[in-house]
Amino acid sequence: MKTKLAFLILSLFVVLESGVSAEETNDNVEAQVQALLAQMSLEEKVGQMTQIDFSVVSVLNGEVADNPIDQAKLEDAILNRHIGSILNTPTTPNNQTQPIEKWRRMTQAIRDVAAKSRLKIPVLYGIDAIHGATYTENAVLFPQAISMAATFNPDLAFKEGEVTAREVKASGLDWNFMPVMDIGRQPLWPRLWETYGEDVHLAVTMGSAYIHGHHGDDFADADKAPTCLKHYVGYSYPLNGKDRTPAWIGERALREYFLPGFEAGVKAGAPTVMVNSAEVDGIPGHVNHHYLNTILRGEMGFKGFTVSDWADISRLYTRDKLAASPREAVKMAVMAGVDMSMVPFDYSFYDLLLDLAKTGEVPLSRIDEAVSRILRVKYQSGLFDRHEPALDVEGNFVTDEAVAANRQAAREAIILAKNDQHILPLSKQASILVTGPTANLLSVMNGGWTITWQGATEHLYPKDKPTLLQAIQQKTTGKVTYVGGKNFSDEINIEQAVTQARQHDVVILALGEKTYTETEGNIESLHLDPVQLQLARAIFEIGKPVVLVTFGGRPRIITEVANKAQAVVLGFLPGMEGGAAMADILFGDTNPSGKLPISYPRDVNDIVMYDHKPIEAFESNQYRPLYPFGHGLSYTTFQTSGLRLSKDNIAMGENIDVTVKVKNTGALTGKETVMVYLHDVAASVSRPVKQLKAFKKIELKPGAEQTLQFSLTPQDMSFIGVDMRRIVEPGEFEVMVGNEVARFQVVKP
Ligand code: NOJ
């Protein structure tokens, strides 16, 4: 009775408040959370911490059923098990895209049952909308993160966040498992392409912009949605390159390379964090109290909730052998700081945690803490205020503006790596042979989490989006011949390709990878498939000019082919508009401006990052990738000059301003990214030869010049010192832009 009264008073208080400040809003949410928590039974609390896969409440073959919901199962999940969250699509692992109206009906059925529950706590529906609303039919699917990074254009990442949140919400969904803030410094890893590449500053900039677009001012707004930072932390750096295998990351490297992305994500307001599925230094992510509490909450000030990755709590027992039983696994993970379990196929977590709580092995205070965090995000997301999809489909799904933004992102993502004798752009009258396994597929440009989990079901792809071949055919009047198969693995008739090559002006050779994600994408080597090399070698023998185009998530080794080709265009995963955008570039309708977000390796073991240590480029050691980080040509030329610093000396704690001029010295309008690198000349811990600290992308007409200004902060000059604290040391620094270097001193106080 007492608690009910308290709840009423608090609710009244909340309702009476309007036009309140952010701080007061927080207080209101806090009051609502505490009032609700006070009414909850232990079962209801443990249920909130449980996330199940849709298949648990789906009929058989739910992906094709008109109504995939098994009402009895859904009611059991929500009314008896009180589950807090659902993820995925009706059939896992064969997740498949669903029409938007069906999504709205499915999520409505869930909202309707939640509304019948005792406390009417909404279910939070999570989805991997990693490059747009992945599982909603015909959604706008952007370039994947590696390609978004290649745009060096945070405005486009912001736009992607906006469009994704809007389409997720129009689908009736609530919560997006994106952005990936892992740093991509292990090119063999099958999820490299889900990252923003090897550089910390670039990843921080693009990831933060994405979150801001996705959240707007308030992610409770109808067209906004909460994000989830993943996979905290160190997941992206497996020593052997295979997914979900150990990383060995010392504290300094962790703080310097792997934490800043998450720190930035927390600062940008991401309210949820997904835990690293693997392990760092022998400690699985899901039991790492130090990372989940001391660092994430203590140092970064994260206030939201953490969610496990797929089945990873039970894997502490079944795989990692840290726990002696499934029960102990639940206890370890919850006590380490995991707030929600992506179980995902049963109620084992619910049953075990309930029992652990009843016996006091997991204290109630810990349950209350986790549940408060989850409820807080539900309130902050506006879930309690809505009983139907937040947005209409009309005007919010596949708008012309969203499609145009996607096309622009794809254009800016594509990297012109080589262009001998200006063979590109091609004439639209040229006769062209198009061949190679990535020439006529949409899947190879989209990657995993596209329509299906692995993204490989080509026949489900939209019919109105052109492959590279189709886009070339649409754009040109010359003869275009294709020699290739229908599927990635179809054998290409090399003899026929060679015969045809002789009869055309130029060959567009499209190589690369098929689509994949997660462990299914593990490979033994970065070498290209031997058959692709055979095709390339046979074509080169006849001496016709070759334009090499690549698609795929990892930098497969193309050195031999790239050296012989007249032009090389790196597509990575430019998304649904990739074919059209690639044709725009090949024929000069778009001037390329993409820059490499990774160092493109020369050979399989050439794994040296651009921000390597001096020792990695000393004596016979070299940084000698096929193409360096930041590389990317244009059809025009740019020159940077006049690099100037605001001062020669600054005091500790001061900023320094950098000025540089950039000029379009060619004959075409184009976009250039000006990159500012910093080097701490001598320090008590070895420092990278250079680190990107700022960049700006601008468009210039032929002959036009612009002066750009940047400000470098003490944070930019800092590093993780001997005692693991972030410090700035006095001494000399070099600022590098283009071919110029300027020096300044940080002076002791
Ligand atoms: C496993 C993946 O590691 C993670 O990125 C994803 O969000 C979850 N599964 C949910 O699908």
Instruction: Check residue 94 and give its pLDDT.
Output: 86
Query: Do 525 and 196 touch, CB atoms closer than 8 A?
Result: no
Residues 638-661 have a mean pLDDT of: 98
Instruction: Check residue 22 and give its pLDDT.
Output: 75
Instruction: Check residue 461 and give its pLDDT.
Output: 98
Q: For 401-419, how does the pLDDT look when each residue is reduced to its tens digit (9 = 90+)?
A: 999 999 999 999 999 999 9
Exposure b/e, 673-684, CB count within 10 A at least 16 = b: bbbbbbbbeeee
pTM: 0.96
Task: Please provide residue 583's backbone torsions phi and psi, each rounded to the nearest 5 degrees.
Answer: -65, -40
What is the rounded (10 degree) CA torsion for 400, 405, 409, 412? 100
Atom of ligand 1 nearest to the CA of 518: 3
177 Cβ inside 6 Å of ligand 1: yes
CA of 517 to the centre of ligand 1 (A): 10
Question: Which residue's CA is the closest to the ligand 1 atom numbered 9?
Answer: 310
3-state secondary structure of 415: strand
Residue 3 has pLDDT above 80, yes or no: no
Distance of alpha carbon 442 from its chain centroid, rounded? 20
Indicate the pLDDT class of residue 9, thresholds 50, 70 and 90. very low
Task: Please provide residue 483's backbone torsions phi and psi, each rounded to the nearest 5 degrees.
Answer: -120, 110
Say how far apart CA 385 and CA 56 lie, in whole Å: 27
Q: Is the peptide bond before 179 cis (omega within 30 degrees of 0)?
A: yes
135 Cβ inside 6 Å of ligand 1: no
Q: Is the peptide bond before 344 cis (omega within 30 degrees of 0)?
A: yes
Query: Do 613 and 498 touch, CB atoms closer than 8 A?
Result: no
Residue 16 has pLDDT above 80, yes or no: no
Question: Which residue's CA is the closest to the ligand 1 atom numbered 1?
Answer: 310
Instruction: Check residue 55 and give its pLDDT.
Output: 97
| Residue 491 CA: distances (Å) to CA of 374, 488, 561 | 51, 8, 19
Instruction: Check residue 749 and give its pLDDT.
Output: 77
Residues 586-596 have a mean pLDDT of: 98
Query: Do 297 and 373 touch, CB atoms closer than 8 A?
Result: no
DSSP strand pairing (546-551 vs 567-570): parallel
230 Cβ inside 6 Å of ligand 1: yes
Atom of ligand 1 nearest to the CA of 277: 3
Window from 20-24, 343-347, 356-360, 599-603 with minimum mean pLDDT: 20-24
Residues 441-468 have a mean pLDDT of: 98
Atom of ligand 1 nearest to the CA of 228: 7
Instruction: Check residue 19 and give its pLDDT.
Output: 55
Residue 18 has pLDDT above 60, yes or no: no
Atom of ligand 1 nearest to the CA of 88: 11
Residues 688-699 have a mean pLDDT of: 98
Say how far apart CA 29 and CA 277 lie, in whole Å: 31
Query: Do 586 and 547 touch, CB atoms closer than 8 A?
Result: yes
Q: For 231-253, how does the pLDDT look when each residue is reduced to its tens digit (9 = 90+)?
A: 999 999 999 999 999 999 999 99
Residue 72 has pLDDT above 80, yes or no: yes
CA of 310 to the centre of ligand 1 (A): 6
> Mean pLDDT over all residues of the chain?
96
Q: Give the number of other CB atoms < 10 A from CB of residue 734.
A: 15
CA of 286 to the centre of ligand 1 (A): 14
What kind and span of H or E run contains 334?
helix 326-336
DSSP strand pairing (341-342 vs 279-280): unpaired
Q: Give the number of other CB atoms < 10 A from CB of residue 237.
A: 24
Q: DSSP letter string over 551-620?
A: ESSS--B-HHHHHHSSEEEE-S---TTHHHHHHHHHTTSS------SS-B-SSTT----TT--GGGGSTT
Say how far apart CA 556 and CA 664 lie, in whole Å: 33
Pocket test for ligand 1, best of 128, 342, 519 (most atoms within 8 A of CB): 128
Atom of ligand 1 nearest to the CA of 194: 5
309 Cβ inside 6 Å of ligand 1: yes
CA of 556 to the centre of ligand 1 (A): 24
CA of 611 to the centre of ligand 1 (A): 29
3-state secondary structure of 287: helix
Indicate the pLDDT class of residue 277, thresholds 50, 70 and 90. very high
Question: Which residue's CA is the closest to the ligand 1 atom numbered 11?
Answer: 128
Residues 67-88 have a mean pLDDT of: 98
Residues 365-387 have a mean pLDDT of: 97
Residue 2 has pLDDT above 90, yes or no: no
310 Cβ inside 6 Å of ligand 1: yes
629 Cβ inside 6 Å of ligand 1: no
CA of 193 to the centre of ligand 1 (A): 14
Higher pLDDT residue, 461 or 24?
461
Atom of ligand 1 nearest to the CA of 230: 5
Pocket test for ligand 1, best of 88, 189, 308, 309 (most atoms within 8 A of CB): 309
Active site residues: 309
Q: Name which of 711, 708, 699 is nearest 661 in CA terms.
A: 708
Q: Give the number of other CB atoms < 10 A from CB of residue 621.
A: 13
671 Cβ inside 6 Å of ligand 1: no
Q: For 282-333, how does the pLDDT look when each residue is reduced to its tens digit (9 = 90+)?
A: 999 999 999 999 999 999 999 999 999 999 999 999 999 999 999 999 999 9
Query: Do 332 and 287 touch, CB atoms closer than 8 A?
Result: yes
Instruction: Check residue 141 and give its pLDDT.
Output: 98
Instruction: Check residue 20 and give its pLDDT.
Output: 64
Q: Name which of 640, 643, 658 is nearest 712 in CA terms.
A: 658
Exposed/middle/buried for 523, CB within 10 Å: 0-12, 13-18, 19+? middle
277 Cβ inside 6 Å of ligand 1: yes
